[in-house]
Structure 1
Amino acid sequence: MKSIFITGANRGLGYSLANEGLIRGFNIYAGVKSSDSFPMLDPLKNQYPNRVHLIEIDVSDEESVKSAFREVQKTTESLNGIINNAAIMLEREKTIEELEFELVRRSFEINTFGPMRVVKHFLPLIYAANDPVIINISSEAGTIVNAFSTNYPYSMSKTALNMFSERLKHYVQDKGISVYAIHPGWVKTDMGGEEAPGEPSVSAAGIFNIIEKKLAITSKIAFINHLGKPMPL
């Protein structure tokens, strides 16, 4: 049975991704920052016993990422996919004069360096799989042309994530590994808000269509949306 590791899996898009993967028959390694969040995944564990593996991971802490890798490695020799979904949005409405730079750094630690840490340490399990996929959940906010006039930390950290995805794509392409930075659309989550027009379940379905190679991806760059269409830089 194929396996996927998802960070930030206890709510919002991450929860929908975990649910969609289970519906499609995957084993799900559900990464959450604290074991206190484990009960939030009880509905999935109850519905899919033995296929939901709860993994404590703080993507801003490299030792935590290493520990999570060792925990996953206990029960699987390979991963067919990684979905780096964990992210934060801080200082959204602040002007440059108002920014708290410690919170800017925190945004990069989680939104950019977090996925980099996960990939760095989990690559051995990806290398061991057949035709695996690495997905970094990005945002339209990370584009130069469509970014908000404020929202510095989130937009900049997602732009950097897109560049990391592009560099990683070229690094592993000869090993049969696909890499994408995916804009999931504006969806109803704690981050997206209730006014968002999209449903996370729809985005999750599109992302798994990409994982299962059900969509023809013609984009020359790693940055695409959940329907497989290229995003502007």
Structure 2
Amino acid sequence: MSERNRERVVLVTGGGRGLGPEIARQLVTGDEPCTAVVAARDAQAGASVAKELGEHAWPLTLDVTDPESVQAAVEAVDRRHGHLDALVNNAAAHYDAGSDPVVEDLEIADGAWRTNVLAPWRLTQAFVPLLRAGHEPVIVNVTSGLGSLTRMGATSPAYSVSKAGVNALTRVFADALTRDGIAVHAVSPGWTATDMGGPSGRPVADGAAGIVEVVRYPASFPSGSFLQDGEHVPW
């Protein structure tokens, strides 16, 4: 199989629940299926998703906050594929809706920062060598409109500030990885009907579609873009 025609190998963190399984499902379907590495802290959940998706998916137990788990994940992908075409930093936590930043429990803010910012930073560092060996490699940091400084208010302060950090991380790595030909984008799925978004959110499939588009066609946008549904979002 030629470099251009091989399946794209895509690792999706947070693959066991929420938006992750739908991102993986869309990646493995269509005329050009990708290989989805369904990475989840809950091994059983990840295995269940991968089994349902079939031959183009495989599960990977991964705690994004644990350096040893991250290193083990890198080694597993390297053994199986020898490269990675896309890293989707989707895992997130600590959505503190209704909290007041004036009296916020800073343990929540600390947890949000460790999971939502430091974890994708760690994963990016760890997977860059495999991404360098990929075809049209891209890092997609799943973010939120709540992380837009232009739109930001007091809502969900720990989560919002952490997602602003994700956006900053995107810009930093987009600049740093230009020399390696690795694109880096921040993509918001919008308010979706996951456990976090609740039943009032848009269909999960709609939120995942914008992420999958960037994974499949990363060069369609300037590296360092903040996107939702293929449209640029104000920083």
TM-score normalised by L of structure 2:
0.90
Structure-2 residue corresponding to 1:8: 14
1:209 aligns with 2:233: no
Tell me how far apart the structure 1 counterparts of residues 29 and 223 of structure 2 sit (CA, whole Å).
30
Q: Deviations over 1:198-222 (max 9, x none)?
A: 21212222222222228842x6742
1:17 aligns with 2:17: no
Structure-2 residue corresponding to 1:34: 42
Structure-1 residue corresponding to 2:4: none
1:232 aligns with 2:213: no
Matched residue of 2:10: which SS? Answer: strand
Unaligned runs of 5+ in 2: 1-6
Matches within 5 A, 1:176-215: 176-196=181-201, 198-213=202-217
Tell me how far apart the structure 2 counterparts of residues 231 and 111 of structure 1 sit (CA, whole Å).
19
- C-alpha root-mean-square deviation of aligned residues, in Å? 1.8
Matched residue of 1:208: which SS? Answer: helix
Deviates more, 1:205-214 or 1:165-174: 205-214
Matched residue of 1:74: which SS? Answer: helix
Structure-1 residue corresponding to 2:179: 174
Structure-2 residue corresponding to 1:118: 123
Tell me how far apart the structure 2 counterparts of residues 220 and 35 of structure 1 sit (CA, whole Å).
33
Structure-1 residue corresponding to 2:54: 48
Paired amino acid for 1:4 = V
Matches within 5 A, 1:86-105: 86-105=91-110
Could you tell me whether the CA contact under 8 Å between 2:183 and 2:224 is conserved in 1? no
Which one of the candidate residues 57, 70, 75 is aligned to 2:62? 57
Q: Deviations over 1:77-117 (max 9, x none)?
A: 11110100000134321213431111110001111011111
Quote the offset at 1:47 in angstroms. Answer: 4.5
TM-score normalised by L of structure 1:
0.91
Tell me how far apart the structure 1 counterparts of residues 161 and 128 of structure 2 sit (CA, whole Å).
25
Matched residue of 2:91: which SS? Answer: coil
Quote the offset at 1:141 in angstroms. Answer: 0.2
Quote the offset at 1:172 in angstroms. Answer: 0.9
Aligned positions, number: 227
Could you tell me whether the CA contact under 8 Å between 1:182 and 1:225 is conserved in 2? yes
Could you tell me whether the CA contact under 8 Å between 1:90 and 1:103 is conserved in 2? no
Unaligned runs of 5+ in 1: none
Which ranges of 4 or more aligned residues in structure 1 deviate by more than 3 Å? none
CA distance 1:190–1:162, shift in 2 (3 Å): same
Quote the offset at 1:71 in angstroms. Answer: 1.6
Quote the offset at 1:69 in angstroms. Answer: 1.1
Could you tell me whether the CA contact under 8 Å between 1:184 and 1:225 is conserved in 2? yes
